[in-house]
Amino acid sequence: MKLLLEYDGTEFAGFQQQAQGERTVQGVLEAALARIPGTRPKVTAAGRTDSGVHALAMPVHYDTEDTVPVDKVPLALNALLPPDVRVLEAEEVPPDWHARYSARWRRYLYRVQGRSQPTALDRHRVWWLPQPLDFSAIAAAAELLVGEHDFGAFANREKRATVRRLHQAHVEASGGELRLHFVGSGFVRGQVRSMVGTLVEVGLGRRPPEDVARLLAHPERSEGGATAPPQGLYFVAAGYSPWAEGAA
C-alpha cells in the first residue's frame, strides 16, 4: 500500500526510527498501522527527513492484508494518528513498487523570511534573517548547482558516494520571503540545507556567486557554507517517472 503523508516536523526527531526511542514519524505511523488487523507495520519512505523538517507529500509504502477499503484508509489512519501527521491519500501498488528505490526524482522547498523582526506565526516554518539578501546573486549561484556534480562540499557525515544530478535549482521572491526549489535524482545527507546555507552566504555578500563552481570542482565540506536550520525545509514530492527537463 502506498500512502502520501503530510507532517509538521517540529516535534519529531526526523522520519526514521531512532535507536534511543525518540519520537519519529515512522514510529507514530507504525504504531497506528499496528492497530489495524492484517497490516504489517513496517513502513519505508521516499526520503528520510531530519529533526524539525516538514513534508507536504511524502510517499511511503507498507505490506498489508487488511480489509479496509482503500478509499477509507486515510480516514482510518488519521483517526489513530497524532494531529501533526496526516495521511492525504492511499493507493494500492504492485508488490515490487518501492517508495524509495522506485523514485526517479525528489523535490524540496526551503523558505527564508527576510524582515526586521522575527516571526511569531512562522517561527517553526521558515529561517528568519533580518539582513537584506541579494536575490540576483543567489539566483546566479543557484544556476551553477544544476547538473551532475560531486556535492561533497554540501554533504554532512555522508558515507555514500556524493555524485548526484540536480535537475532544478529555482529561486523566487515574494512578499519578503525567499523560496528555493530543488529537484534532484537523489540528495546526499544534508545537501539541501548546506546548499541553502551557502546560497545565503552569497546573498549576504560573504562569497561571490562563482564560488559555487569552485565548491563543485573541489568538493571539500569544510569549504562549503553553514548548514541552514531545519525548520525552513520541506519535502515536497517524489516522482516515479523520469524527470522531464524544463518541467516546472
The alpha carbons of the chain give a radius of gyration, in whole angstroms, of 19
Q: Find out whether 2 and 93 touch, Cβ atoms under 8 Å.
A: yes
Can you say whether the dihedral through the CA atoms of 247, 243, 215, 113 is positive or negative? positive
Instruction: Choose the catalytic residue: 8, 50, 96, 122.
Output: 50
Q: Is 134 a catalytic site residue?
A: no
Alpha-carbon distances of 134 from 179, 207, 210, rounded to whole Å: 13, 12, 14
Output the DSSP codes for 16-67.
S--TT----HHHHHHHHHTTSTTEEEEEEES----TT-EEEEEEEEEEE---
Cell of 16: 526514521
3-state secondary structure (DSSP) of residue 208: coil
Known catalytic residues?
50
